[in-house]
Chain A
């Protein structure tokens, strides 16, 4: 065991070392400024010795420097694609972003999302109806809402396929179909993408307008996220008509990413409006591609949860009505509201009978 004095000496040595280090750092910064004491500071950095102002630049060098950084000149040629700049530097940036991070990371991102969903499905399995089907149904989505959803969904899928073809086709599809085959398809895909885009935009904007009222965040959503939407813990968290996850998909996916994709797409789609410089076009392209790729990743998750991932969820958007047990399990607060508003659950048999008109008594004559 060390004696008392030895411990004290060691502590002193440490303290001395620390202070010496600090002194060295402080002096290394302070000592060079001693120069100010010798020379008058105003003389060294004063206006009469200011390099940037004093040294006139060479006008010829300036002109060529301006030309290199994309400053415009004068040209007599006219035409929609005539530019008066000699070198536009956006081109190389656009090329490097598109051919580098967007293609590589974007491609791997989509692959990763699919793998993650497959792993999740393999480990967690399907979210089952805990108490089975009740056979009674309540209305969840009205007909016009379902038409809007499926119109937008189908447009989204078509735009995804055509858009991804233009981005990854050269890497993936040309080796499969050859240059001529792919070019024929790409011409069709681009025209379809351009023609369908505006209709899809109308669908997205209608969704934002019509469904924003269902998507106002509240305290229930915080609890919903805390329980990971039911993955953490055994009890399913409460939710209104739309749960926290659906609200996230609405605000982040449909609202934010939707508007970015629509606005950037609009800029690219109407070059005839004339305000689009090459910079504006290139950046629109880049934003359109990045945001659309993230949106597609989100969409994979949405599509999985809405179909295979959750038992009883798909029929809500397919036929408009959901099983009462599904409603109690996933959207308990909404179910209580529906029942409180006086709506009576209808059995599936009743629905089938309503759909098929009752036989008009006996067989039709002539048979």
Chain B
């Protein structure tokens, strides 16, 4: 079984925002909700670097641990998904997530947020694959079709890698060996544990 992971190669990311646009368009994500975002460090200064951040599909996901209604589940591929029918919009997963991945359609008085929305690794949700309900709640299900997440698939510099963790790590290792320098597996320790 594959263990799906994301890795963003900061040496290659050019901050073109194509991953963000691809995600929004593919899943028809509403305004104000961003499943993926690009963060630029040292913006406009020498040594500027950017990375694309979304749900990392953690091994021991903090969002799943704090959820009061236990609406998260991990698929056989290691993808962390949630059930919007159970979600009560309490916001706990947003406080627990290291990556700021959980999003909500509203932020109003009396803590009304609506159902949580986050990156699904293009793997839909608990509804029947390709059903109308799955499309409206979670977006398309590319994994079921044997495809990988669209953000990584259409990354122009192949900075954003998605897929089986071993293969992703191997590609990145070969890159580092070829170009020199140090590896920067950003976020992997936080998401996949100490030995990642």
Contacts and interface: CB of A to CB of B under 8 A. Distances in A.
A319 interface: no
A296 interface: no
Given A64-B186, A75-B39, A186-B88, A170 B67 contact: yes
A169 B68 contact: yes
A79 B100 CA distance: 12
A295 to B, nearest CB: 20
Interface stretch (A2-10, A80-88, A134-142, A244-252): A80-88
Interface string B73-97: 0000000000101111111101111
B107 A94 contact: no
A282 B109 contact: no
Contacts of A156: none
Contact of B37 (A60, A75, A89, A170): A75
A89 B111 contact: no
Interface in A68-116: 68, 73-92, 94-95, 98-99
Contacts of A269: 109-111
Interface residues of B, number: 57
A90 B109 contact: no
Interface string B34-70: 1001111111000101110100000000100111111
A226 interface: no
Interface residues of A, number: 54
A77 B41 contact: no
Contacts of A74: 39-41, 43
B180 interface: no
Nearest to A278: B95
A77 B20 contact: yes
B41 A73 contact: yes
A170 B69 contact: yes
Main secondary structure of the interface of B (DSSP, over half): loop
Interface string A232-247: 0000000000000000
Interface string B110-121: 111100000000
A247 to B, nearest CB: 34
Interface string A258-288: 0000000000111110000010011001000
Contacts of A281: 91, 95
B17 A81 contact: no
Contact of A94 (B86, B96, B184): B96
Nearest to B190: A87
B86 A179 contact: yes
Interface stretch (A32-40, A187-195, A339-347): A187-195
A63 interface: yes
B165 interface: no
Contact of B98 (A60, A75, A84, A91): A91
A180 interface: yes
A166 interface: yes
Contacts of A282: 95-96
A81 B139 CA distance: 19
A279 B51 CA distance: 23
Given A64-B186, A94-B96, A82 B42 contact: no
A183 B95 contact: no
Interface of B: 17, 20, 31-34, 37-43, 47, 49-51, 53, 62, 65-71, 83, 85-92, 94-100, 102-104, 106-113, 184, 186-187, 190
24 contacts: A60-B47, A73-B42, A76-B38, A81-B32, A81-B34, A81-B107, A82-B37, A82-B103, A85-B39, A86-B51, A88-B99, A90-B95, A92-B96, A95-B62, A95-B65, A99-B65, A169-B68, A174-B70, A180-B86, A183-B69, A183-B87, A270-B110, A278-B94, A281-B91
